[in-house]
Structure 1
Amino acid sequence: MRSRVSIVVIALCLIFGMAAAVYAAPLTDTENHWAKELINAWVEKGLISGYEDGTFRPDNNITRAEFMALVNRAFNYQEKAEIDYKDVADTAWYADAVKIARAAGYISGYEDDTMKPDNPISRQEAATIIMKILRLEENTSGADKFNDAAGIPAWSKGAVGAVASAGIMGGYPDGTFKAANLIKRAEAVVALDKALSSKVDVIYDKAGTYGPASGSEEIKGNVIISAAKVNLQNLVIEGNLTIDKAVGDGDVHLKQVTVKGDTYIYGGGKDSVYFIDSQTGRTYVLKDDGPIRIVVSGTTEINEIIAQSGVTVEEVDLAGEGIEGITIDKKVDGNIEINLKGVNVESLKINTAGVTVRTDGDTVIDKLAVNKKADFRGSGTIKYAYINADGVTFEKMPEKYEVAEGVKPPTIYRPSSGGGGISKVAVSAISVEGVAKVGETLTAKVTPTGATVNYQWQARADDGTTWDDIADATSKTYILSENEVGKLIRVKVTGTGNYTGTKTSV
């Protein structure tokens, strides 16, 4: 039994006709349309709009790019993947939509390395996308009820049967599905409305242990953890798992949890996100500020960690495959630090500049691909490295490496201490964000981003000279109380781990 859980249905916001202005007045061409009630209901809620001439054009076709854009909005997909399609220019309006769709994993393009974004999308293509989004099982027999089942291609028949059996897409009055027909705007609204209604989020927003003590419980939709000290156990999550920003610097434990979708880590601190005897696919690290520590143990298997912010990764008492690969792929080049402790991975890829990777002596990287300038510190073993960027440095050189044509070879980093260990990085600044009002939250921002530090909030009288430590105020955030009225507040940070130095905000 799940206790203290919230269920929410994701709202859908569609924008059709990317090149046209939208019009919010009552529609003039839906009065006699079969989908009139749903279309008008969405218009009243502000979810969709018509064109500036007052029409909705419910029977118009939708391009593949437009369908991707509305799916991304509907299911709140935001992460982007690197793409290299010959027909998707980076300046095209749909470039981001394609990148997001590719990252979400519901579309991959054609064998000739094209996406054909301007082509109208067919009903069978839409069915395939919806099947992947909802993670439905292929069901070829589910398509046999249609009179034209024999004409449905083998590549799409399982998807057509899956969405038909789930009640997401139906056939026509004549008993056919018409898989190759182009899907209309009204049909897209109806299909995605049904898809959204079948996909719910389970939210754990209070500390506690959730999931059965033995056996296994299946959750069909997505799961969101929005509080610290949440422990999940013996769960199979069919959708995505999100560890929300609301977790802050707290800890989360996942024990015997299988995530069939993607995992997104926006919250968690140096006290860790623990994966114990668990299985996940792509696991994104996306915390805006401060470090996240991921601890992997037991029979845990993680297909890939995609770090877009600083992270410490540890493998402890591992009995399974552990982490297969790690990709550093921040959206914007900038300083980011990755710490690997006792980690044995098949591959590590660096796709963003300004990365420092620190390894201990128990870390082994089978294959390293460096596509942007990066620094490697520590005594970990790198068996093979492919260097595809200038300015790469190693404290311990790879056993073997290859340099791309026209690229400068890597250089050896010599720690100034002469001791052969990992050099310390100075904490250079600390600032405070927030409004100075009772009940408001102040947030400390440390430089460099991702530095591991100890926090201590302090107060003094406006006319005083002595700063006093505030009891139990040792986290990155502090909520102002009545006790601080008329006082000055500051935060003091002291570097820990690979960081050194003490700074105050005043």
Structure 2
Amino acid sequence: MLNKMKKGMSVLLTLALVLSQMTMVTAAASDYENHWANANIEKWMDLGIIKGYPSGAFMPEASITRAEFVTVINNIFQLEEKTDVTFSDVKTTDWFEDAVLKASTAGIVSGHNNRFRPDDRITRQEAAIVLTNAFQLTGTEAAAYSTYTDASDVATWAATQMSVLVEKGYMQGRSNNELAPMSNLTRAEAVTLLSNIAGELITEPGEVTGMTYEGNLVVSSTGVILKDTTIKGNLYIAQGVADGEVDLDNVKVQGELVAFGGGENTITLTNTEVGTLRVIKHNGKIRILAIGNTKVDKVDMHSGGKLQEDGSLTGNGFGNVEIYTVRPGETLTLEGDFEALTVNTPVKNLVVSEGSVGTLTIMKNAEGSELNISSTGNVGNLVLSGSTTVTGTGTITKAVVNVNGSTMTMTPTETTVSKDVEVEVGGETVTEDDNTATTLHQVAAVAVADQPHLQQP
């Protein structure tokens, strides 16, 4: 049951088509009464969160502009971050300037030749790109849209995104089995697409208990507690949470948990099951805390942050962790017992502050990384296929070094250095001739590190 603080939270409260030429009206729209999108339009019209024109009409078949569509996305995610990026055709006096720049900062939209074309009608395939960027959608089929008669009209630059929306059933074709990728997106289609993808939205603090969400759920407010809840789609912690807190207690997320927002105090997972956690916090200042019987199968880090396992953890905690992006100045900290960590990009501030990492692999394309292992940290197997500086007073049980240019201030219990490779260990140069041990485990680790096709993507 929803408590009284969440009245109306189970619907998409902020799906507002904020158009520059629209004003708030009280007259009932009648031009969508027999329209195929009537249910979606009527639901939000009744709530007063989408509005018609002054005449009272909604005009469901009218096209929506790029600026208008981006404003809707901004309303859903309550985007916070805005850099100094500018477009020559977006002025500070334009009503859409704030939304466009925030969406650009979030990587949701991009311009061409420093132009955004805000007043152009957005096409269906352009909208597909915006939506897949905003909701971090991925698919498994290369061309799910191929059954449509006009499949060849899908542009190469939009093929992946169109395939994702069709595969997941978010985008349907028009008449005559046509997908119409180059046609302008209508207002009715925009409402329906966003309804299909966003699912439901929580915009106010409070507790939600005993709910089952059949699709996706977007949380855009701090102070939200989800308890005894199942989300069959994805759960999005939106930028609107900012540096606030969201608590999940006995929650099952069958899709992905995508954290755009949340601060250093904290997104808390208590007795919670998550398939994949994806962290994309703009400034990297976010903490994800696992408590009790919590299990997260996989973690994809696209920003800095802190993954922390509470001392009372009884579940598996965080599973395999993959690091894909950490911006300059951001820190990624691990505190707990982690099975495996793979670094796919250079990270200047990677810290094992407490606990252990079973296998920590620095891939070749992560060359230049800097790893600090604190006095209370341990790495079981450290595989360096990209040159790395390792500091701290923690321990390394086994080190496998496959590349020149690495240094370790501490001395691992066992070290294996590949042929023609030198590494500085504890202030001394170590080569293959100085290997302290060669075990079957280490030979296997070297083989995997030297053969990318055997490694995790």
Give the TM-score normalised by structure 2: 0.53
Measured in 2, the distance between the counterparts of 1:117 and 1:20 equals 16
Measured in 2, the distance between the counterparts of 1:255 and 1:34 equals 37
Pick closer, same or farther for the CA change 1:195–1:106 going to 2, 3 Å.
same
Q: CA deviation at 1:90?
A: 3.1
Identity of matched residues, %: 23
Pick closer, same or farther for the CA change 1:200–1:95 going to 2, 3 Å.
same
Give the corresponding residue for 2:256. Answer: 238
Q: Does 1:304 align with 2:326?
A: yes
Q: Which amino acid in 1 is paired with 2:325?
A: N
RMSD over aligned CA atoms reads 5.3
Q: Does 1:171 align with 2:173?
A: yes
Q: Does 1:200 align with 2:217?
A: yes
Q: CA deviation at 1:167?
A: 1.8
Q: CA deviation at 1:38?
A: 2.5
Give the corresponding residue for 2:69. Answer: 67
Q: CA deviation at 1:185?
A: 1.0
Q: Which amino acid in 2 is paired with 1:282?
A: S
Give the corresponding residue for 1:56. Answer: 58
Give the corresponding residue for 1:226. Answer: 246
Do 2:74 and 2:103's aligned partners in 1 also have CA atoms closer than 8 Å?
yes
DSSP 3-state at the match of 2:189: helix
Q: How does 1:129-144 map to 2 (within 5 A)?
A: 129-134=130-135, 135-137=137-139, 139-144=141-146
Do 2:257 and 2:274's aligned partners in 1 also have CA atoms closer than 8 Å?
no
Deviations 1:73-101 (A, max 9, x none): 12333332441322222332222111221
Measured in 2, the distance between the counterparts of 1:120 and 1:80 equals 24
Measured in 2, the distance between the counterparts of 1:161 and 1:250 equals 34
Measured in 1, the distance between the counterparts of 2:56 and 2:254 equals 47
Do 2:256 and 2:278's aligned partners in 1 also have CA atoms closer than 8 Å?
yes
Q: Which amino acid in 2 is paired with 1:96?
A: D
Give the TM-score normalised by structure 1: 0.48
Deviations 1:422-458 (A, max 9, x none): xxxxxxxxxxxxxxxxxxxxxxxxxxxxxxxxxxxxx
Measured in 1, the distance between the counterparts of 2:35 and 2:297 equals 53
Q: CA deviation at 1:188?
A: 0.9
Pick closer, same or farther for the CA change 1:306–1:231 going to 2, 3 Å.
farther
Pick closer, same or farther for the CA change 1:24–1:74 going to 2, 3 Å.
farther
Pick closer, same or farther for the CA change 1:243–1:116 going to 2, 3 Å.
closer
Give the corresponding residue for 2:163. Answer: 161
Pick closer, same or farther for the CA change 1:207–1:323 going to 2, 3 Å.
farther
Q: CA deviation at 1:125?
A: 0.9
Q: Does 1:262 align with 2:280?
A: yes
Q: Which amino acid in 2 is paired with 1:164?
A: V
DSSP 3-state at the match of 1:174: helix
Measured in 2, the distance between the counterparts of 1:277 and 1:168 equals 25
Q: Give unpaired runs (5+ residues) of structure 2.
A: 1-5, 200-214, 238-244, 289-295, 307-317, 354-361, 375-386, 388-457
Measured in 1, the distance between the counterparts of 2:232 and 2:146 equals 29
Q: Which amino acid in 1 is paired with 2:75?
A: R
Give the corresponding residue for 1:104. Answer: 106
Q: CA deviation at 1:257?
A: 8.5
Q: Which amino acid in 2 is paired with 1:301?
A: I
Measured in 1, the distance between the counterparts of 2:140 and 2:76 equals 23
Do 1:282 and 1:305's aligned partners in 2 also have CA atoms closer than 8 Å?
yes
Q: CA deviation at 1:180?
A: 0.7
Pick closer, same or farther for the CA change 1:97–1:207 going to 2, 3 Å.
closer
Q: Which amino acid in 2 is paired with 1:83?
A: V
Whose radius of gyration is greater, 1 or 2?
Answer: 1
Measured in 2, the distance between the counterparts of 1:255 and 1:41 equals 32
Pick closer, same or farther for the CA change 1:319–1:347 going to 2, 3 Å.
same
Which is richer in strand? 1
Measured in 2, the distance between the counterparts of 1:54 and 1:243 equals 37
Q: Which amino acid in 1 is paired with 2:193?
A: A
Give the corresponding residue for 2:301. Answer: 280
Do 2:285 and 2:304's aligned partners in 1 also have CA atoms closer than 8 Å?
no
DSSP 3-state at the match of 1:260: strand
Q: Which amino acid in 2 is paired with 1:149?
A: A
Q: How does 1:357-506 map to 2 (within 5 A)?
A: none
Q: Which amino acid in 2 is paired with 1:130?
A: L
Q: CA deviation at 1:320?
A: 5.3
Do 1:9 and 1:199's aligned partners in 2 also have CA atoms closer than 8 Å?
no
Measured in 2, the distance between the counterparts of 1:232 and 1:151 equals 42
Q: Which amino acid in 2 is paired with 1:126?
A: A
Do 2:301 and 2:324's aligned partners in 1 also have CA atoms closer than 8 Å?
yes
Give the corresponding residue for 2:118. Answer: 117
Q: CA deviation at 1:226?
A: 2.4
Q: Which amino acid in 1 is paired with 2:170?
A: I
Give the corresponding residue for 2:26. Answer: 24
Q: Which amino acid in 2 is paired with 1:158?
A: T
Do 2:277 and 2:300's aligned partners in 1 also have CA atoms closer than 8 Å?
yes
Measured in 2, the distance between the counterparts of 1:322 and 1:161 equals 27
Q: Which amino acid in 1 is paired with 2:59?
A: R
Among residues 15, 18, 24, which one is paired with 2:17 in the alignment? 15
Measured in 2, the distance between the counterparts of 1:251 and 1:163 equals 30
Give the corresponding residue for 1:184. Answer: 186
Do 2:277 and 2:298's aligned partners in 1 also have CA atoms closer than 8 Å?
no
Deviations 1:55-87 (A, max 9, x none): 212222111111000122123333324413222
Measured in 1, the distance between the counterparts of 2:33 and 2:273 equals 54
Measured in 2, the distance between the counterparts of 1:232 and 1:32 equals 39
DSSP 3-state at the match of 1:192: helix
